[in-house]
């Protein structure tokens, strides 16, 4: 007689764990985006720092390499890091990304940046909710989206030399579709991760939320940049 009740209680408890896990992911992601925005605005509004970061290619590309190193290091070593170290690395990456992303203020108008951010937030939110609630298994999207991502990288490198406006437009359109797909795919994958998260291991849960926050942060930032390239008007 008590078995159905215990099963219901177990299901409810697991749902609460998943909800808490996803809330943590979104909270850390938003914190990362906030740090990035503050760092970018501080950089562009402080001439001395802007000159060092944006006026020196060695420093600029050095920061990009440092960002890549942090992403790879955090992803590879997440299970060996303390929760504090993982959180610190994520926030450091967010700050460094803000320094380099400040360059968009030199290329696009503030109106274009704001509009791209708002549209990105709406599209990201819709696809993330879809990833959370859909009953469809999105695992099959993974290989397709990965190939699309590789194609974007290769085409972007080629376009550095060809400087084709038509190719840039195509890259941006495909990029929007790829990162929207990745948003839903990654959200579902994180939901599954939350379903298997050990409720009694706070450190493991924190690691998972940080890794999840980094994943969705990267999806959002790349979606924002693709939309900015697609619809953003250059500064006069």
pLDDT at 11: 59
pLDDT at 9: 53
* Segment 131-158, tens digit of pLDDT: 999 999 999 898 899 999 999 999 998 9
Q: Where are the beta strands (DSSP E) in 80-214?
A: none
In angstroms, the CA 47 to CA 55 distance is 10
pLDDT at 8: 52
- Helix-helix angle 202-231:110-133, to 10 degrees: 130
Task: Give the Cβ contact number of residue 228 at 10 Å.
Answer: 21
The one-character DSSP state at 235 is P
Cβ proximity of 184 and 131 under 8 Å:
yes
pLDDT at 6: 52
pLDDT at 2: 56
Q: Which residues sit opposite 108 in a β-bridge?
A: 234
DSSP string, 139-154: TTHHHHHHHHHHHHHH
Residues lower than pLDDT 50 in the chain: 1, 5, 234-236
pTM of the model: 0.90
pLDDT at 233: 54
């Amino acid at each position: 007689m008590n078995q159905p009740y215990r099963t219901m209680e177990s299901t409810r408890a697991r749902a609460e764990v998943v909800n808490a896990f996803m809330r943590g992911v979104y909270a850390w992601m938003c914190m990362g985006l906030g740090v990035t925005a503050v760092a970018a605005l501080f950089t562009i509004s402080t001439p001395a720092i802007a000159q060092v970061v944006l006026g020196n290619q060695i420093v600029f590309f050095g920061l990009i390499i440092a960002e890549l190193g942090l992403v790879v290091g955090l992803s590879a070593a997440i299970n060996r890091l303390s929760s504090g170290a993982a959180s610190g690395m994520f926030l450091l990456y967010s700050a460094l990304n803000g320094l380099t992303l400040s360059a968009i203020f030199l290329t696009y108008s503030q109106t274009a940046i704001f509009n791209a951010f708002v549209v990105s937030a709406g599209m990201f939110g819709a696809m993330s909710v879809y990833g959370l609630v859909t009953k469809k298994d999105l695992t099959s999207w993974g290989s397709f989206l990965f190939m699309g991502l590789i194609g974007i990288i290769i085409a972007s490198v080629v376009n550095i030399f060809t400087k084709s406006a038509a190719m840039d437009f195509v890259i941006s359109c495909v990029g929007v579709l790829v990162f929207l797909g990745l948003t839903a795919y990654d959200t579902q994958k994180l939901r599954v991760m939350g379903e298997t998260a050990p409720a009694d291991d706070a450190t493991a849960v924190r690691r998972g939320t940080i890794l999840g926050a980094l994943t969705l942060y990267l999806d959002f930032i790349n979606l924002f940049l693709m939309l900015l390239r697609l619809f953003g008007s250059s500064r006069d």
